[in-house]
Amino acid sequence: MTREVLSGNYAQAYAVRLARARVISAYPITPQTTIVEKLSEFVASGELDARFVEVESEHSALQVVVSAAGLGARTYTATSSQGLLLMHELLHWASGMRAPIVMGVVNRAVAPPWNIGADHTDTIAQRDTGWLQFYPESNQEVLDTVLEAYRLAESPEVRLPAMVNEDAFYLSHTYEPVDVPTPEIVDRFLPPRESHAVLRPGVAARLGSFTGPDHYVEFRHELARATEAVGKRLPEVEEEYRRFTGRSHGGAFPTYRAEGADAVLVTMGTTSTTARTVVDEMRAEGLKVGLAKLRMFRPFPDDAVRELAGSVDRLGVVDRSYTFGPAGAAATEVRAAIYPTPHHPLVAGFLAGVGGRDVTPAHVRRMFEELLGNPGEATRWEDLLPAEVGAHG
């Protein structure tokens, strides 16, 4: 193990090098670009034995890795925002073809107006495409999650693609010390991809194909079963990773000081780090607050959310995206998850940090205070400018 000072994007690139991805393809977009710049260097210098295909669009980037995965190669691509939206059609192809691609997504706001700040709208809008989605909060977690994502995605019972997301700039361009495991360790944790269910030259077979209702239903059902398998497989992968590196990140829905809490805030990505310090401050003041991090949004960790909901009366869910639904995307999922359970805590929805607006400790404290008061269940835009400043109409 070595300790390096890495940006989130470099942590992602270092992980891909350690994973020995064989085919990489990408198209430039801010703030993702430094991931593939670094990977281009690794490939050019021979540190990474891979083919790097410099395509003419994100759509083609994802097609390149989908097809390469079809022949059994371990693959990687990365994008942000508009690029991810352009990939939308291919996202379905990747999961439908059971291609265990890992993709880094640097979460960036969606235009118009143009904005390159952190915002989860890009990935949340892809929640129904069959990809696993992780929202790490630190550069260390980015590196570890990329490696775990490969192991998980390539598991025979899963074989689904995975996104490892980074909040734009808060992670992508911010440098932190990161423990980088040795190649020997990673090779033991993540052996070369097993080439089952892939095309072989010289063997007549068809990957993709077409079918009517006579088989299509079963293909979708297989996808559902694979998605369900993630919940069981993730803790195993985390435990294997912990054995090799001494680190794990608490599975899909880790909690912090949530035991006996009156109110728990559910966060994603870097807001979690900010919220954790606020929990400590408020706990020191005698206020019983806690935190739960939605580390994996897809598949949604229903069971873990239900377990938490059974022991707490007030949940606040923070979404860093506005998605036109009945509430924020995560708030809606949390409510749906707990609906079948006998104990229904109040679930308040907060929108904060949209478009890269900084989510400060003061914002988080106010959300906790509102949650401890009587917030109701209507979605609150937590960090709007005062009307006289923010009016654009």
Partner 1 sequence: MAKLTIPAEEWMYRGHAACPGCGPALAMRLLLKGLGPRTVMSIPACCWTVIGTPYPTTALGIALLDNPIESTGASIAGLRAALDALRIEDVRVVGFAGDGGTADIGLQALSGMLERRTDAIFVMYDNEGYMNTGVQRSSATPQGAWTTTTPVEGPRRGKREAKKEIMSIVLAHHPAYAATVNPAFPEDFVRKAEKARDARGPRFLHALTPCPPGWKFSSEETIELGRLATETGLFPLYEVEDGVYRITRRLGTLKPVDEYVRLQGRFRHWEPEDVRELSEEVRRGWERLLRLERETAPAVFPKPPVAIAAA
Residues at the contact surface with partner 1, assessed by CB under 8 A: 22-23, 25, 49-51, 53-57, 59-61, 63-73, 89-90, 93, 199-212, 215
Please calculate the CA angle 298-164-301 and round it to the nearest 5 degrees: 25
CB of 212 to partner 1, least distance (A): 7
Query: What's the min distance (Å) between Cβ of 73 and partner 1?
Result: 4
Nearest approach, Cβ of residue 90 and partner 1 (Å): 7
Q: Give me the residues paired with residue 103 across strands.
A: 77, 163
Question: At closest approach, how far in Å is the CB of 24 from partner 1?
Answer: 9
Give which of 345, 335, 336, 337 is closest to 310, Cα–Cα: 345
Nearer to partner 1, 199 or 346 (CB): 199
For partner 1, give the closer residue by CB, 57 or 182. Answer: 57
d(CA 253, CA 287): 22
* Minimum separation from the CB atom of position 291 to partner 1 (A): 41
Cis peptide leading into residue 31 (ω within 30°): yes
Measured CA to CA in angstroms, residue 359 lies from 27, 119, 149, 355, 380 at distances of: 30, 11, 27, 11, 14
**Token pair in block for residue 288:** 């019983």
What is the closest distance, in whole angstroms, from the C-beta atom of residue 69 to partner 1 in the complex? 8
Quick one: which of 164, 152, 189 has its CA closest to 78? 164
- Which C-beta is closer to partner 1: that of 6 or that of 68? 68
- Please give the Cα distance from 347 to 26 (Å, whole number): 39
Closest CA to 7 of 183, 140, 146, 164: 140
Using only C-alpha atoms, the chain has a radius of gyration, in whole angstroms, of 21
Supply the minimum distance, in Å, between the C-beta of residue 197 and partner 1: 13
Using the minimum distance from each CB to partner 1, give the nearer residue, 113 or 201.
201
Which residue, among 352, 282, 280, 340, has the nearest Cα to 316 in the 3D structure? 352
What sections of 20-116 are H helices per DSSP?
A: 33-45, 58-70, 81-86, 88-96
The pair phi, psi for residue 372, each rounded to 5°, is -75, -25
- Cβ closer to partner 1: 41 or 218? 218
Closest CA to 171 of 32, 76, 351: 32
**Tokens coding 35:** 């991931």
Phi then psi dihedrals of residue 219, to 5 deg? -60, -45
What stretch of H or E contains 133?
strand 132-134
Angle, in degrees to the nearest 10, between helices 8-19 and 139-153 = 30
Of 1 and 203, which has the nearer Cβ to partner 1?
Answer: 203
User: Shortest Cβ distance from residue 66 to partner 1 (Å)?
Assistant: 7
Q: Which residue's CB is nearer to partner 1, number 59 or number 127? A: 59
| 232 vs 333: CA distance, rounded Å | 20
Choose between 119 and 154: whose C-beta lies nearer to partner 1.
154
Q: How far is the CB of 245 from partner 1 (least distance, A)?
A: 27
Q: Are 16 and 24 in contact (CB under 8 A)?
A: yes
Nearer to partner 1, 3 or 206 (CB): 206
Closest separation between CB of residue 226 and partner 1, Å?
Answer: 18
Of 177 and 192, which CB lies nearer to partner 1 in the complex structure? 192
